[in-house]
Amino acid sequence: MITLRKNQVEPISKATAFFKEKRPAPSLIVLPTAWGKSILTAFVANEIEDKLLVIQPSKELLEQNYKKYVSLCGDFGAQAGVYSASFGRKDINKITYATIGSIKKIGKTFKQLGFKKMLIDEAHLYPREADSMLGTFLEDSEISHVLGITATPVKLQANTGLDGERFSKLVMLTSRSKKGNFFKDIVHVSQVQEMIELGFWSKLVYKTSGFDSSQLVYNSSKSEFTEDSMQRAFAANDIHNQIKQELDVNSDRKHILTFVPSIDEAIQFAQEYPNSAAIYSGMHDSERERVISEFRKGNIRVIFNVRVLSTGFDYTKIDCIILGISTASIALYYQILGRGTRIDEEKENCLISDLAGNVDRFGKVEDITFEKERIWKMYGTDGRLLSGIPIHEIGTVKKGDAEKEAQKSSSTIGKPLETMPFGKHKGESFKDIPKEYREWMLKSFDWHAANMNLKLAIEGSL
């Protein structure tokens, strides 16, 4: 029998209650890395009695999570099957693990088999709107209950400002979009701080170096730094030699993930440094699996990684992560550091050696919270706002700042807008725009000082 941890009782209760509702809207449950998704799956399946379909985003995660379920819950939970062409199995059971690619065209089959309940793992990896192969499967299968699981309920969204400039921001998966958001609400959030306080996360020890970010340039959508500029920043800050120094200074660290900006760098490091190997997209699966296997055995001490092992690489003994890359993606940053958060008896903590300015940009991953005000928002260290704000402005707005600025702006707002400055109604008088569309904008947009002119113009037209 599995004994639930203190922080697992309420989320499992909330998830179970969701599946027992008559026909709830698709929703999310937010669980930090290392929370124990297999445990939630087992308890929910036992409580609801119905068949449960568990969707995984990839073959690798399906294999990992299925094996973890069997090892942790095999004697307690319901029998589990796997339906995945790439996994080589197509057996259906009380709990069925599947990749969406393998089942996207057989929704009617699952309907006939009586599946009504679905868990979606890594829900942030799917489109925020419902017009996708997941949406097609749900329509064909008539699944009535969909609960997504994620540690980061945010999605990147491209926008155009009032000045016509493009920018990107992180939006909560529950935020409304023009096409309609698929997930409507969050039934529960387990904050990262709970994992720390209860001792279920390994302590992260941060080490940063002086980093000159002047070489970094955002791409056209301001969603990430360009590859060329990341390479220039890597060279200008002599990060290659800094990585070598970190590896030498921290000789007591036995399982190290090092993130570098290019395949050439990864291969060069692997050739220069003993007991190391490179992993990158495009390498043969067999070689990649061999490297990971040798790393787990301890025969390889360092993996030089080009943005591959950031999601779903579940190895508890990782005791050092070296960031030789700069990123503007908070989701990628969270996923990378999450690789070091798991508890293991062989390590006291995990060293986060950031050589590329990421900790200064985003803060500590342990400080991330998700809070519901008028809408759900994501905050970081010192209350800095991480969602609903242009990525290139992260760090400039803190909790409560937008409201304060909006109050100030009433006296300095300037000349009101007379026409819509962007979108399909660009150039039209506000009164000529359909009322439903204006009301939708007021409900859907995340209003702050920078766009208060627009809000006042819309309100004045109603």
323 and 454 part of one domain: no
**Inside any domain, residue 163:** yes
290 and 220 part of one domain: yes
Q: What is the pLDDT of residue 412?
A: 46
Q: What is the pLDDT of residue 13?
A: 95
**Inside any domain, residue 378:** no
For 352, the 3-state DSSP assignment is strand
Domain boundary among 146, 163, 196: 196
Q: What is the pLDDT of residue 1?
A: 62
Residue 390 phi/psi, 5° resolution? Answer: -50, 135
Q: What is the pLDDT of residue 410?
A: 46
From the list 259, 380, 234, the residue with the least C-alpha distance to 318 is 259
**Inside any domain, residue 397:** no
Domain boundary among 167, 196, 225: 196
**Inside any domain, residue 384:** no
326 and 178 part of one domain: no
Please, what's the b/e burial string for 230-255 (b: 16 or more CB within 10 A of its CB; e: otherwise)?
bbbbbeebebbebbeebbeebeebbb
Please, what's the b/e burial string for 266-282 (b: 16 or more CB within 10 A of its CB; e: otherwise)?
bbebbeebeebbbbbee
248 and 191 part of one domain: no
Q: What is the pLDDT of residue 445?
A: 72
Each residue's pLDDT expressed in tens, for the chain with a length of 462 residues:
678 888 999 999 999 999 999 989 999 999 998 888 888 988 888 888 889 999 998 888 888 888 888 887 766 666 889 998 888 888 988 899 999 889 999 999 999 999 999 999 999 888 766 667 888 899 999 999 999 999 989 988 888 776 678 889 988 998 766 566 889 999 999 999 999 899 999 999 999 999 999 999 999 999 999 999 999 999 999 999 999 999 999 999 999 999 999 999 999 999 999 999 999 988 888 998 899 999 999 999 999 999 787 665 778 999 999 999 999 998 889 889 989 999 999 999 999 999 999 999 999 999 999 999 878 999 999 999 999 888 988 888 888 775 554 455 444 455 668 888 877 788 899 999 999 888 878 876 767 666 778 888 898 898
**Inside any domain, residue 398:** no
**Inside any domain, residue 292:** yes
Domain boundary among 138, 170, 196: 196
**Inside any domain, residue 137:** yes
253 and 187 part of one domain: no
- Number of domains into which the chain is organized: 3
243 and 132 part of one domain: no
Q: Judge contact between 416 and 455, C-beta under 8 A.
A: no
244 and 354 part of one domain: yes
185 and 59 part of one domain: yes
Q: What is the CATH number of the domain that holds 72?
A: 3.40.50.300
18 and 90 part of one domain: yes
Give the residue numbers spanning the domain of 48.
Answer: 6-196
The Cα angle at residue 280 between residues 70 and 213, in degrees rounded to 5: 115
168 and 240 part of one domain: no
**Inside any domain, residue 138:** yes
Q: Judge contact between 44 and 66, C-beta under 8 A.
A: no
185 and 279 part of one domain: no
172 and 226 part of one domain: no
